[in-house]
Amino acid sequence: MVILYAMMYPDRVNHVVQIGPGQPNAGTQYPAHLTGADATLAAFGAKLMQMRNEGQPSDPKEACEKFWALLRELMVADPEDAGKIHWTICDYPNEMLMMKHWSENILPSIQILHFGPEEFLKVKAPVLTIHGTRDRQSPYGAGREWALRLPNARLVTVEGAAHVPWIEAPEKVFGAIETFLDGGVAGGG
């Protein structure tokens, strides 16, 4: 979303940091090695279908926590790291029903976006894109594409990390961001 803002108001943005961005154009398919599709993703889909078939708990917070427990497993490559995620959307009433809002409003609006070369050129600020190679929510190929298509972008690849690479490689991620915001070239690409 911040890239949309940078495209619309380039004079108001001086740096952009993207972590695990989705595809610039939602329908883009990447080769398997540029996606995080794996057995964990397949197992998540099966567990999600089972949850739906069992019916949602009547308590919205309980339903949210049940879903969030599954979703956290997708955010990290190593299931042991899921316990390091200490936040939950379920503690915030305005976000508790986020998946309904996501699927009915946000996702459809993202799916109709189509960025051509002229939109990429509108981003004047330097962009740091950080992406884990095993990201299951947003394919690693998307991070590569953003970095290749934006005029002043750098990609930091976090090998073996998933959607929240700062959990799995905090020194690399936070170090790259600090270097970038201090005006240096972030390493690790």
Q: Tokens 């750098």 label which residue?
A: 154
What tens digit of pLDDT does each residue of 15-72 get?
999 999 999 998 899 999 999 989 988 888 899 899 889 887 888 888 888 888 888 8
What tens digit of pLDDT does each residue of 128-186 get?
999 999 999 999 999 999 999 999 999 999 999 999 999 999 999 999 999 999 987 76
For residues 18 and 103, the model is more confident at 18
Residue 1 CB-density burial (10 A; 0-12 exposed, 13-18 middle, 19+ buried): exposed
Listed in sequence order, the residues at least 6 apart from 139 whose beta carbon sits closer than 8 Å to its beta carbon are 23, 30, 34, 35, 36
Q: pTM of the prediction? A: 0.88
Joined tokens for residue 43: 């197992």
Instruction: Tell me the pLDDT of the chain averaged across its residues.
Output: 90
Which domains are seen in the chain, by residue range? 2-181 (3.40.50.1820)
Q: What is the pLDDT of residue 27?
A: 86
Q: What is the pLDDT of residue 186?
A: 65
* Cα 96 to the center of its chain, rounded Å: 19
Q: What is the C-alpha separation between 5 and 171, in angstroms, rounded?
A: 28
Q: What is the pLDDT of residue 123?
A: 96
Q: 79: pLDDT confidence band, cut at 50, 70 and 90?
A: confident
Listed in sequence order, the residues at least 6 apart from 95 whose beta carbon sits closer than 8 Å to its beta carbon are 89
